[in-house]
Amino acid sequence: MGKLSKLPKIYLIIIFIILYAPIFYLIFYSFNSGGSMSNFESFTLDHYKAVFEDTRLIVILINTVVVALLSALVSTTIGVLGALAIVFMRNKAMRNAVLSLNNILIVSPDVIIGASFLILFTLVGIKLGFASVLISHIAFSIPIVVIMVLPKLQEMSPSLIDAALDLGASKRDILTRVIIPFIKPGIFAGFFLALTYSLDDFAVTFFVTGNGFSTLSVEIYSMARAGITLTINALTGLIFIVTVTLVIGYYFISRKAKTPIAGVRK
């Protein structure tokens, strides 16, 4: 922080403390043998043990991860195809229209997405539960993948494809051996973002989940409404480690991809 004088430094430090305080506060009390988040009695790992012994919670954890992985996988596939479709569109007005439609789900509030999907699923007759949650996660992740892949595709020189065609490559070869390798970093970045969006989602899942199925966010919500349980704190500790690992992984991938963090273009 060479160029900064004292006051801005203090300001930044305060902001950082406030941003991290709630997280470390939760993790700190996850080691508390007392039952509350106000006085620390003695160190214990009981709450972590409780997390692993609670089969219901483990099932929910597995559900959450399965939904996240599957939805990220499917949405990445569809998103990449969508980005290809947009790039190959020659009509500029049409392309802009499709892009605006693409961005609607990114800017819509979660409540709207949740409510409208609830109507949709009820109307079509999809039972609320695993399927409805998975489908909605796929649906709201697709535009994010498109946004991540598109800049990479636009960066690609058309002469690469022409060269491949001249050298006798088939359409399939062009896709799998020219385009996909070139946009790979964008694809990975999209996959990671889709994964985190799915893991983090509460509002949409809350609307479309039935009685029998729950993800972590929804479960924490109902636990938190009932009051303080230190099991949630232990869960935070575990999730924090996983998230930091994911973020660092994403950071290195996006650095390779030269696409800055969280989808913001340079």
Contact criterion met (CB below 8 Å) for 231 and 215:
no
261 secondary structure, DSSP code: G
Q: What is the dihedral angle through the alpha carbons of 126, 128, 130, 132, rounded to the nearest 10 degrees?
A: 60
Q: Which of 50, 87, 128, 131 binds other proteins (CB under 8 A)?
A: 87
**Could you tell me the smallest distance in angstroms from the CB atom of residue 65 to other proteins?**
13
Query: In this chain, which stretch among 36-44, 45-53, 54-62, 126-134 interacts with other proteins, using CB under 8 A?
Result: 36-44
Contact criterion met (CB below 8 Å) for 136 and 66:
no
Binding status of residue 183 toward other proteins by CB under 8 A: no
**Could you tell me the smallest distance in angstroms from the CB atom of residue 98 to other proteins?**
7
Rounded-to-integer distance, Cα 58 and Cα 238, Å:
13
Rounded-to-integer distance, Cα 234 and Cα 61, Å:
13
Return the closest-CA partner of residue 191 out of 236, 142, 225: 142
Residue type, 195: L
Binding status of residue 1 toward other proteins by CB under 8 A: yes
Query: In this chain, which stretch among 2-10, 44-52, 53-61, 65-73 interacts with other proteins, using CB under 8 A?
Result: 2-10
Rounded-to-integer distance, Cα 265 and Cα 148, Å:
9
Query: In this chain, which stretch among 25-33, 44-52, 55-63, 126-134 interacts with other proteins, using CB under 8 A?
Result: 25-33
Binding status of residue 252 toward other proteins by CB under 8 A: no
Return the closest-CA partner of residue 195 out of 187, 184, 183, 203: 187
**Could you tell me the smallest distance in angstroms from the CB atom of residue 228 to other proteins?**
6
Q: Which of 199, 204, 234, 257 binds other proteins (CB under 8 A)?
A: 199
Binding status of residue 238 toward other proteins by CB under 8 A: no
167 secondary structure, DSSP code: T
State which of positions 43-62 bind other proteins (CB under 8 A): none
Query: In this chain, which stretch among 21-29, 42-50, 51-59, 65-73 interacts with other proteins, using CB under 8 A?
Result: 21-29
Q: Which two tokens stand for residue 91?
A: 């009509």
Binding status of residue 38 toward other proteins by CB under 8 A: yes
Binding status of residue 129 toward other proteins by CB under 8 A: no
State which of positions 92-121 bind other proteins (CB under 8 A): 98-99, 101-113, 115-120
